Amino acid sequence: MAIEVRIPTILRTYTGGAKQVEGKGSTLSELIDDIDSSHTGLKDRLIADGGLRRFVNVYLNDEDVRFLGGLETPVKDGDTVTVLPAVAGGAA
Amino acid sequence: MLSLSRELHDKIVAHARADHPDEACGVIAGPAGSDHPDRFIPMMNAERSPTFYRFDSMEQFQVWKEMDERDEEPIVIYHSHTATEAYPSRTDVSYASEPGAHYVLVSTRAPDRTDFRSYRIVDEVITEEPVEIADVE
pLDDT digits (tens, 9 = 90+) for A34-52: 999 999 999 999 999 999 9
Closest CB to A90 among B55, B64, B91: B91
Q: Is pLDDT of A92 > 80?
A: no
Read off the pLDDT of residues A56-87 as tens digits, 9 standing for 90 and up: 999 999 999 999 999 999 999 999 999 999 99
- Pair B57, A66: CB distance under 8 Å: yes
How far CA A5 is from CA of A19, A54, A76, B18, in Å, comes to 9, 19, 12, 38
**The pLDDT of residue B136 is above 90:** no
Average pLDDT, chain A: 95
The CATH number given to whatever domain includes residue B92 is: 3.40.140.10
pLDDT 10s digits, B18-63: 999 999 999 999 999 999 999 999 999 999 899 999 999 999 999 9
DSSP state of B23: P
- The domain segmentation of chain A, as residue ranges, is 3-85
- B95:A55 CB<8 A: yes
ipTM over 0.95: no
pLDDT (tens digit per residue) in B69-127: 999 999 999 999 999 999 999 999 999 999 999 999 999 999 999 999 999 999 999 99
Amino acid, single-letter form, for residue B27: V
Q: Which candidate from A9, A87, A90 shows the least CB-CB separation from B60?
A: A87
Q: What superfamily in CATH does domain A3-85 come from? A: Beta-grasp domain (3.10.20.30)
Specify the pairing of strand B25-31 against strand B102-110.
unpaired
pTM of the model: 0.94
Q: Which residues of B are less than 8 Å from A62 in CB distance?
A: 61
| pLDDT recorded at residue B33 | 95
Spatial CA neighbour of B76 closest among B125, B43, B111: B43
Distance from CA of A85 to the nearest CA of B (A): 6
With a cut of 80, say whether residue A1 has pLDDT above it: no
CA angle B97, B103, B107 (to 5 degrees): 130
**Contact partners, residue A76, CB within 8 Å, separation at least 6:** A1, A3, A26
